[in-house]
Amino acid sequence: MTKQTVMVDGNRLTIEDIYHIANQTKTLQLSDADAFKQRINKGALFVNTLLREEGFIYGVTTGYGDSCTVSIPLEHVADLSRHLYTFHGCGLGAHFDEEQTRAIMAVRINSLAQGFSGVRYQLLQQISQLLEHDILPLIPQEGSVGASGDLTPLSYLAAVLAGERDVRYQEQTQSAESVFNVLNILPLTLNPKEGLAIMNGTAVMTALACLAHQRAAYLSQLSTRITSLVSVALLGNASHFDEQLFTVKPHAGQITVARRIREDLPVACQAPRNDCRLQDRYSLRCAPHVIGVLEDALPWFRQFIENELNSANDNPIIDAENERVLHGGHFYGGHIAFAMDSMKTAVANLADLMDRQLAQLVDPKFNNGLPANLSGAKAEQAMLNHGFKAVQIAVSAWTAEALKLTMPASVFSRSTECHNQDKVSMGTIAARDCIRVLELTEQVAVASLMAAVQAVELRGDTHLLSANLTMTMQQVREHVPFLESDRALEQVLRLCLQLVRGQHWSLYE
């Protein structure tokens, strides 16, 4: 079956478009419409005209950054792009994974497709061709301060377009040159301004932000479903999620979360009972208020991220239509930095919430009669088995690490590059931190989900569960057997983590 496509033609893309390209559920298609080609090429032609007329263009007839006062003789202009991506080849740390790399490439091509970067249509074709063949530059994660954009990581994309450095192709690391030879792809000699156009932008942080948004939105729903399961397991008070209660503090996000929990809870749980507390502990009672912060923030995170995704964010801007070269600072990643710093804080609070819920579930002082550590062992084996004891310790460790990483990256600006880049965004570090917080919170979520399902089964009366909770219980039990005797849970945790990251489990409409 033919995959759906995401058209790149200068019109707006969405976070979901980048997510689908990154996960290969859709393919990127570069428009071949004549009007689009002409609009892109017009910028490159204008740059060439200025060169013939000996115009003065930053990064084309000058050095870069603080070296902008250094004039480049016309006979050396053609070498400048190669020098730019060459001396920036100093990234370190782990490489971005395949999903992240596809997202980076998709975000960069969409920015260049806005038509204000002075590049040829041929350059966009080269990026599109790499994505088509799934030739992925090996891009180190570390080395960007987020203004002048993601220079060092994006230098690896620029170099690969020119047939240099290494790529990931067919699950192997190979030289770009060798892969190009096999596939008869011609290396691209970058024209004046093209090296700068590729590298001097926010594609890396924005790509990570697109992926982070999708993961955060799913985690919001997953933590809500876990809260519903925990409420059932702990004989929680359903009145904490009353519709009227939330009309007097009408944050839309927490109203949504409370409604989802109400719809999850069995009818039997919603009637007044003598066996429930008048007021549950905060990790149950205030769950809509905690999760609701992220729910309310997601729309404005989207606004920040999608505006950046659909912007020309290099420098200088080439306004070929009005024959102007506009020198500015659109490479500055402040909006992404703020969104990522804010998102990781909201997400880490979900980890903390689920950690506290799990602590209640495993502790017989607080779990309303469930076995200690949710052990499912029969009486004669009870003294030997420890259920979810170690899982709860691990969840505490993962939560602590997530909370530790919520220090905002954006406030750690460093003056760099001879004090030319004297105020920088740190947007890429913020985005990388956010991804790590998401990873840790997903680990907390899968452990909490497994424990909550165990707890509900130990409580009994599963035939009374709502359709939503029954569905989740069944989905989990397809992969996670009931924990009766102690067994190592690492592999099943990893499997569930993979399922969560692939968003395979249905939650809310």
Residues of the chain below pLDDT 50: none
DSSP state of 191: P
Within 10 angstroms of residue 263's Cβ, the number of other Cβ atoms is 14
**pLDDT (tens digit per residue) in 95-135:** 999 999 999 999 999 999 999 999 999 999 999 999 999 99
pLDDT at 381: 77
pLDDT at 70: 56
- Pick among 1.20.200.10, 3.40.109.10, 3.30.479.10, 2.60.120.1060: CATH of 208-501: 1.20.200.10
Q: Are 205 and 339 in contact (CB under 8 A)?
A: no
Burial 297-335, CB ≥16 within 10 A → b, else e: bbeebbebbbebbbbbbbbbbbbbeeeebeeeebbbbbb
**pLDDT (tens digit per residue) in 449-477:** 999 999 999 999 899 999 999 999 999 99
pLDDT at 417: 74
Active-site residue list: 58
Angle at 444 between CA 440 and CA 450, to 5 degrees: 145
pLDDT at 73: 63
pLDDT at 269: 61
Within 10 angstroms of residue 377's Cβ, the number of other Cβ atoms is 18
Furthest C-alpha separation in the chain: 91
pLDDT at 491: 97
pLDDT at 64: 53
Q: Domain limits of the chain?
A: 4-201, 208-501
**pLDDT (tens digit per residue) in 1-46:** 578 999 999 999 999 999 999 999 999 999 999 999 999 999 999 9
What pTM was computed for the model? 0.95
Angstrom distance (rounded) from CA 203 to CA 153: 10
Which CATH number is associated with domain 4-201?
1.10.275.10
